[in-house]
Amino acid sequence: MVKPLRKAVLPVAGLGTRFLPATKAMPKEMLPVVDKPLIQYAVDEARAAGIDQFCMVTGRGKTALIDHFDIAFELEATLAERGKREALALLREEAMPPGSITTVRQQVPLGLGHAIWCARSFIGDDPFAILLPDDLVLSQMPCTAQLAKVYNETGGNVVAISEVPREQTNRYGILKTGKVEGDRVEVLGLVEKPKPEDAPSNFSIIGRYVLLPEVIPFLSRMEAGAGNEVQLTDAMAKMIGKMPFHGLKFEGQRFDCGDKAGFLEAQIAFSLVRPDLSPAVREFLKKYVTEQP
Ligand code: UTP
């Protein structure tokens, strides 16, 4: 029996430089896809996997993220007074139970590995999921639930993986793959941002992980890796061979919302699965692709 997965860490301390000036005074994770901020997608996805304890690793200028999960008392009172029942129900439906979300500060963004290390007290001795809110996944079964299913069967570490064009391996954490069983791939090695000619495969990790707390001592070493940052991938690589470690070719489509084109594509894809928006979006898309020079 594996220890149940109840915790998630949401690293949100990055600077979001690719989205300036939008992210000058607003965290990247508050950018909406259709009508929901990225952070809310991540929390909803984790809750759908049975996770009920959250830790956001924040930095300066990120208070909107904390406020987002609080009760907007004046707003709710005004909505109630005006009889806006639907809007009120929406807010209440998404409210977090008291005490279920905590935050820690990463004072200096020294890398994703360092951000996870900052959540070490929250993690304690428990397995935990990591969701990078700027990676969005559109799927039948929420991506974290897919990982949790594998974790419950195999234990150890499980990461979501997808194939990337070989010339893009220098943007991702890349797997050295072992045995492949259906959608599960044994992880034999991990390299952060290898040059295409050095990449051991074209399977990259996307921003969804289930990890064991044993990763923390490796992160504590604070070894700088690619980009001079403390890389999560490097610490994970040190766990290979010591415990089960699988990559999951998850079902679904991933959108890199930290990138402008990926973010725009997500807007289209997520609006096309919304019955209230899909007809209008299809209509205007047709107009733009056929009528524009
Ligand atoms: P990114 O590589 O997308 O960096 O981080 P970024 O700063 O958010 O965005 P750009 O590249 O400047 O536009 C991936 C994830 O890791 C978190 C980010 O918040 C994001 O969720 N992160 C990254 C941290 O929390 N701390 C860090 O030191 C680095």
What does the pLDDT look like over 196-222, one tens digit per residue?
Answer: 999 999 999 999 999 999 999 999 988
Report the alpha-carbon distance of residue 192 to residue 222 in Å, rounded.
15
What residues does 56 pair with on adjacent strands? 10, 103
Q: Is 272 exposed, middle or buried, given 0-12, 13-18 or 19+ CB atoms closer than 10 A?
A: middle
Q: Residue 1: pLDDT band by 50, 70, 90 thresholds?
A: confident
Is residue 11 in contact with ligand 1, taking CB distance under 6 Å?
yes
pLDDT at 286 over 70: yes
Separation of CA 220 from chain center: 22
- In tens, the pLDDT along 119-143 reads 999 999 999 999 999 999 999 999 9
- Tell me which architecture the domain covering 7-288 has in CATH: Alpha-Beta Complex (3.90)
More confident residue, 292 or 35: 35
Which SS3 state, helix, strand or coil, does residue 226 take?
Answer: helix
Closest CA to 207 of 144, 252, 154, 148: 144
Q: Which one of 20, 28, 117, 206 would you pick to mutate in the ligand 1 pocket, going by the greatest count of ligand atoms within 8 A of its CB?
A: 28
Q: Which one of 41, 60, 108, 132 would you pick to mutate in the ligand 1 pocket, going by the greatest count of ligand atoms within 8 A of its CB?
A: 132
Separation of CA 49 from chain center: 13
Please compute the mean of the pLDDT values over residues 152-162 and round it to a whole number.
97
pLDDT at 104 over 70: yes
- Global pTM value: 0.95
**Domain spans of the chain, in order of start:** 7-288
Please give the mean pLDDT across all residues of the chain. 94
C-alpha neighbours within 13 Å on the C-beta side of residue 293: 0
Please compute the mean of the pLDDT values over residues 72-82 and round it to a whole number.
91
Report the 10 Å Cβ neighbour count for 151.
26
Say what the pLDDT of residue 34 is: 97
